[in-house]
Every structure is written in C-alpha cells, then in structure tokens.
Structure 1
Amino acid sequence: MRKRFDRTLLASLAGAWVALAVSGCANVGQPNAQNGAATSANAASGVPAANATGAASGDPAAAAPLSIDASDNAPLKKAPPLVYRVRRGDTLARVAQHHHISVKQLQAWNGLKASARLKPGQVLHVASPETVRAAKAAAQSAAQRASQATAQTSAQASTQSAAPAPDATAVREVTQETRRHASSVTLAWPAAGSVVEAFQPGETRGIEIGGNAGDPVRAAADGKVMYAGTGLNSYGSLIIVQHNKDFLTAYSHNRKLMVKMGDIVRKGQQIAEMGDENNSRVSVGFEVRRDGKPVDPLPYLPQGRG
C-alpha cells in the first residue's frame, strides 16, 4: 500500500457530484504532485462526504481525497496541415507565405526548382519530413489505443452481460440499506490471499491482499457500485461500493472490472479480477471508509486470516 495522498475525486454519480475521501496507494515516500479542487458529497446522493473533523486535525489520511485528471476534456487545438492542394493562381511564394514557411523549404520538401510552375490540383508538402513522420506515428499510436479501448470495453460488456441481474427484491433491499445510517458493517474477505501490507494510520489507506493475476475479487458486502473505472491516479482499475450512508469499500489495482457504476452487488459476488495495475505486485488494495475517513479493515473482517 502506498503513501501517496491524492487530492480530489470529482465523479458524476446519478446526476450528483460526489467527493470520496480515499487516497492513492503509492510507494512510501513518493509525494503527490497532482492538484485538484476539493468538493463535498451531495446529500441527495446518499454518499458520505470526507470527514471534516479528520481534515482539521491534520490527519492526512482523512483529508486527502481521490483525484481525476480532467485534462482529456480540454479543447484540442487544430493541427497544422501537412499537405496543400494547389489552386488556380497559386505561386510558390503565396503558398509558402500562407503556411508560414519559406520558399526554400517548400522547394526542398517537394523537390521543386525556383522556376517551377504550380499546376491546379498539384499536392504539395507544407510540413517538414520530420513533422510528417511524427504525425503519422501519433496517428498510429492513437489508433492503437482506440483499438485497445474498444476491445477492453467489449470484453467488459460481454462479462457484465453474462452476470445474472439481481432480482427486484434484492435491488430494493440493497438500495434501502444504502440510504440508512449504520454504526458498523460486517464484511467478507474480498480475496483469498494473505495480507501483504497492513493498515497504518496516517500512512496507508487500507490493506493489500496478495494473490495471483486473475484471482477473483469479491464484494465485501451488499452494496451499490458508485465508481468503476481507470480514471484515478495511482489506483489502476478501481471499484468503489457504497454499503450504507456511513461505510464504503474500495478495491484497486484490478486487471479487469466485472461491474459498472450503478450496479447492485451482493456479498461474495465477483466484481473484478486481481491484477497489478499501478502497483509493484499482484494484489488488491482494499480500503474501508467510515464517514469518509480511512479505517483499518481488519476489525470488520472475519478473524483468522492474513
């Protein structure tokens, strides 16, 4: 379990902005350089906000929430053109001036002589060969990432569709429970391995349970999936489950998610496959939050393990 303290998670949950105070799992001694704006939970969402008392007391584990990098949502600048199709009346000087390059560059990139005349419809390179190569490499990389994302989405959709949907009675019972306050919660072990890193107040956010890649990660109790994705720094593939108004659990570093946001899950149901995403070993990072503050999961789990 790592010592990094992330800043802010802003996730849209059922139309409400929810802030969950859960930190990143990073190697001890690695400070976090991410900046974010803190926010509190919307009361209508039923998800507890970060514990303000813990933050005021100087407990970094209670104050530091998850963060999402929203840079992907920034507007993209239009890339300069790589080629230009000659129009009637164009000259080398006019084309060069329009694309902010010199006539010599335009001639060199297209093998043209100074006396060359341009023909309508002729295609000219208006970027250096290095720029063209970089653009092609970037396009290939983007296409590869898009293909991988499509394959991953398809695999997750296939897995989720194969899972039996809970009946109406189960959905109603779990939904009612998530809206109630509770002084405690009874949890099951989310994985079959041993505890490879224990909870340390102020330094770690939970425990790590070791295992093998692909081992099942199971819901520790009935609840509703409030987050399932890979958008959080240092967590890898993360699932957050709300059990009632006071308790949440988080499961990080998975190699595959088997539930999506909004799903109702039952205690012992497989929700992910264990992995090592954003982690130095194969394990599941398991965290328990009470009123937004990280607490030791062991007192809520059956004894005789780890």
Structure 2
Amino acid sequence: MKKIGVLTSGGDSPGMNAAVRAVVRKAIFHNLEVYGVYGGYAGLISGNIKKLELGSVGDIIHRGGTVLYSARCEEFKTAEGQKKGIESLKKHGIEGLVVIGGDGSYRGAKALTEHGFPCVGVPGTIDNDIPGTQFTIGFDTALNTVIDAIDKIRDTATSHERTFIIEVMGRDAGDIALWAGLAGGAETILIPEENYTIDDIVGPLIKGHERGKKHSIIIVAEGVGSGVEIGKQIKEATNFDTRISVLGHMQRGGSPTAADRVLASRLGARAVELLIEGKGGRAVGIEENKLVDYDIIEALAQPHVIDKGMLKLSKELSI
C-alpha cells in the first residue's frame, strides 16, 4: 500500500484532530502518502481530496472539532453514491481509507468494505455508543464539559433552593448522562436504557425535601425525551421551584482532554498499521487500556451495552 486517505464524518468530537494527526504522521513515518477527504462522505463523492504533509497537521492536537470538516450525506447511503466515492479515491491512487466517526460513519465504511475497498473505522463520537470499544474519542472531553456545567448549576441551585433538570446529549445512549450524573452527584439520572415513570423521579425528590434537602439535580439523556417536558411534569407533581438547562452543542466543543488526545493518537496510529498489514474492513477500539480491532460489519450488528451497576450505585449514593 502506497497511498491512504482519511476522513471525519458525522457529528464532530474533541480529539478528532488528534486522530487525524496520528494517521497522517504514522503513515508518513512508514513512507506512505496521505490524502485528506474534506467534508466527510459528501467530500468523498465530490472529490474534495488533498494531499497532506507533516505540516498539514501541525498545531491541531489541542483543537476541538475537525480540520477536515464534516457533513451529512444522504447520497452516500445509496450504492451509486458509494461507487462515486470509490471512483474519487481511485482517481487519486488511494488504496485504503481511515474513517473517523460514529455509528453512521461506520455504516459508510462498512458499505465501502462490502464494495471491496479497504477501510478501517476509528470511533470518534461523544456519545460513547460504538460497540467493540470501551471508550470513543471525545467522550471524556464531553463528560468533563457536562460535569463542569453541573458543578456551576449546583451552586445556583443551592443558593436559590431549586430543582434543576439538565438535559445532556448522547443520542440513543445514556453514557454521558450516567457518567456525568455519578461524577456530579446527581440525585436522579434518566437514561434510555432504563424505563422510568414520573413517580420514580418525584418520589425521591419529595422524600429528600421532607428530610430538609433544599435542592436537587436531575440529569436527563436526550434519548429519554425532552428535559423541558420532564421539568414541567416534575413542577406539576411537586410544585417545587424548578429550572431546566439544555446543554446542547457546547458538549461537542472545546480542547480535548489528555485522555482523549492519547486515545485518539493510539487509535489513529493503529488504524494505519492495519491498512499496512492489509487488514481492511476492521475497526479499532480500546478494552482494558489495550488496543483491539474487530470486523466492522460484525461490530455494527452488536448492541450497545451500558453499565447498569453504575446506575444502581448512583441511586444508592443519592439517598
């Protein structure tokens, strides 16, 4: 293999740039040419592809977002669009592709793999919802952003004796809510992997109020529903002074943490090694702090599993 490409796709996540940097520099170290695909799969179809040098990825390891940009692309979901993408790659002599992104990005890589083009997936999403890896690039940074917000909101919740509902991102996964809720000392954590009723929320709130508790923090994963609507239900059931904060896209931004920079560097470099070894159709991940790789098609067939033990612990600690 002489030439490889790299693209970022789907929602951006802190650490994507560190992964791009690792791919480029690892490839050049092994005397490969590297080409960046700008604008995700849309850029692949349009042929927005440029050669990258060492200097192309200088001073980006600390930056959030992605210097290769990202975009949604409905056309790439079609066989015709996928074939156009492969034609663009072959036009530049690219023989393998590193795809950095989440679930949708992996599905694109899977499609290219099924068309016979070697791809390696690198898990880049704040949602931490990719099977086959304990952690995804950007999750730790997003988590710390949420925890910082919880700490600030708790200060004002205490001052005004209020109940705060904080809605966090995560798509259909509850990892951000669960980890941030446990780390931030939330009284209640609502995740899509666990069923709940309004009584499950209101009961502990009233019990805490009766023993003199002046404020509460409730974390709601967006996959559960609207934090605003849940806040209204709580207000109606308790008449407590209630406020809602929807953190939104601030969770995707910011300089990546050291953990995300290291993870991105390790995973990006390993993806290049797999292509050099002639192993396309794979995805890289981390398990027990060790790098792993697995069949990308098989991985997408596996369900995302959350640690229910952490949810049980949060309930025990929030009494």
| TM-score > 0.5, shorter chain as reference | no
- Structure with larger RCO (C-alpha < 8 A, sep 6+): 2
Q: Which has the larger radius of gyration?
A: 1
**TM-score normalised by length of structure 2:** 0.18
